[in-house]
Amino acid sequence: MSAAAGSAYATGGMGQSNAETLHKLSALATLGILIGIFAFGNAAFLSVNNGLTVLLQTSVIGLLGIGMTMVIITGGIDLSVGAVLALSGTATGLMVKAGVPVPLAMAGGVGVGALCGLINGLVVTKLRITPFVATLGMMMIARGTALQLTGAAPVSRLGEAFGRLGNGALFRIVEQQPNGLSKVAFPGIPYPAILLLVVALMAAFLLKRRPLGRHIYATGSNEEAARLSGVNVNRTKIAAYVMSGALAGLAGNVLMSRLVTAQPNEGVMYELDAIAAAVIGGASLMGGVGTISGTMIGAFIIGVLRNGLNMAGVSAFIQQIIIGFVVIAAVFVDQLRSRR
């Protein structure tokens, strides 16, 4: 293969520019610097346990961010993911309460999320409502439904099996101590982190190697051109919203499982974290631009910031302010580069 063939093959038809690579590198560097600062301030930050905590905390935003990235690349936005997360989680909780086996109930919960996504997609494409308005409506509908179904009360006592997805871990090592008590020698890799990794790899593969992924980029890049090229633009958009909804459902299950309680009030404003993660990672709200790896870095920047600031005793309000600055700075730096 010639050099040119090699490079184009590597970019996967995306004509990935140096600017994009640069953005990712600078985001990665930011992440590294953050970790360095927090580790310097507090040695416990770098401990295995804390690393796993960050992983766990980031998994929910990461899952939402992956779906959000796909929608943003098509040129849309999904404001409903936080509410869909709550609806899906409570749906699963209610099903478990009603005696449905946990795996089936969780699949059902993800299905509820996908259904919300399908409705979003249909409203955007068939009713021609702008994504902002369509998903804003869904945000209210899903949240209202979750609250109505539960009478706004948490659904608790869901059993040990329900908590496994959120609290379990792979390779957990438990040692028997001489005094008869058991001690966790290695907490293991949390299931949510594994789930995030698997979903991220699948999503990246879909975007870069599957025709649907190509169509997602094309639709966001130039919708009319995509249509004239024979791309089924509506179906492409619907697919993106369905994936976003399903991933919100999955994130909802992870979160509620971790709490071992279905909380209809969970996930408020999570959509903003998901958007922030995608944008920090280089996605453009104009469409046509964005990567899963970038969004993952963005999600971890937010996760590490939250965790590190928490450990440093910085209040949640100040954290909010700092993350707000980071979002604006990330986009500003990106614009500086592309303006050149």
Query: According to CB under 8 A, which one of 146, 226, 238, 248 is a site residue for another protein?
Result: 226
Q: Give the helix, strand, coil percentages of the chain, each rounded to 5.
A: 75, 5, 20
Taking the complex as a whole, the smallest distance from the CB of residue 4 to another protein amounts, in Å, to 6
Taking the complex as a whole, the smallest distance from the CB of residue 16 to another protein amounts, in Å, to 8
Taking the complex as a whole, the smallest distance from the CB of residue 220 to another protein amounts, in Å, to 8
Side-chain half-sphere of 43: how many Cα atoms within 13 Å?
0
Taking the complex as a whole, the smallest distance from the CB of residue 211 to another protein amounts, in Å, to 5
Taking the complex as a whole, the smallest distance from the CB of residue 215 to another protein amounts, in Å, to 8
Query: According to CB under 8 A, which one of 31, 134, 277, 289 is a site residue for another protein?
Result: 289
Answer whether 294's CB lies under 8 Å from 70's CB.
no
Nearest to residue 189, comparing CAs of 287, 46, 21, 55?
A: 55
Residue 85 binding another protein, by CB under 8 A = no
**SS3 assignment, position 293:** helix
If one counts every other C-beta atom within 10 angstroms of the C-beta of residue 126, the result is 10
Answer whether 280's CB lies under 8 Å from 298's CB.
yes
Nearer to another protein, 93 or 220 (CB): 220
Please name the helix (run of DSSP H) or strand (run of DSSP E) that holds residue 173, with its range, or none.
Answer: strand 173-176
Nearer to another protein, 164 or 227 (CB): 227
Answer whether 23's CB lies under 8 Å from 282's CB.
yes
Nearer to another protein, 13 or 101 (CB): 13
Length of the chain as a residue count: 340
Q: What is the DSSP string of 186-238?
A: E--EEHHHHHHHHHHHHHHHHHHHSHHHHHHHHHHH-HHHHHHTT--HHHHHH
Taking the complex as a whole, the smallest distance from the CB of residue 232 to another protein amounts, in Å, to 8
Nearer to another protein, 160 or 224 (CB): 224
Query: According to CB under 8 A, which one of 26, 53, 167, 222 is a site residue for another protein?
Result: 222
Paired residues of 189 in beta bridges: 170
Long-range contact pairs involving 34-43 (C-beta distance under 8 Å, separation at least 24): 34/301, 34/304, 34/305, 34/308, 35/304, 35/308, 37/308, 38/304, 38/307, 38/308, 38/311, 38/312, 41/308, 41/311, 41/312, 42/308, 42/311, 42/312
Nearer to another protein, 42 or 222 (CB): 222
Nearer to another protein, 211 or 324 (CB): 211
Query: According to CB under 8 A, which one of 26, 42, 167, 221 is a site residue for another protein?
Result: 221
Give the per-residue contact string, 5-24, with another protein (x = CB under 8 A; - = no): x-xxx-xxxxx-x-------
Taking the complex as a whole, the smallest distance from the CB of residue 75 to another protein amounts, in Å, to 11
Residue 227 binding another protein, by CB under 8 A = yes
Give the per-residue contact string, 180-219, with another protein (x = CB under 8 A; - = no): ----------------------------xxxx-xxx-xx-
Residue 230 binding another protein, by CB under 8 A = yes
Nearest to residue 321, comparing CAs of 303, 306, 307, 335?
A: 306
Which among 24-32, 37-45, 130-138, 221-229 is the span making contact with another protein, rule CB under 8 A? 221-229
Nearer to another protein, 237 or 306 (CB): 237
Taking the complex as a whole, the smallest distance from the CB of residue 130 to another protein amounts, in Å, to 21
Answer whether 39's CB lies under 8 Å from 45's CB.
yes
Residue 304 binding another protein, by CB under 8 A = no
Taking the complex as a whole, the smallest distance from the CB of residue 1 to another protein amounts, in Å, to 7
* Contact residues for 326 (Cβ-Cβ < 8 A; gap 6+): 276, 280, 301, 302, 305
Q: Which residues bind another protein (CB under 8 A)?
A: 1, 4-5, 7-9, 11-15, 17, 208-211, 213-215, 217-218, 220-222, 224-232, 288-289
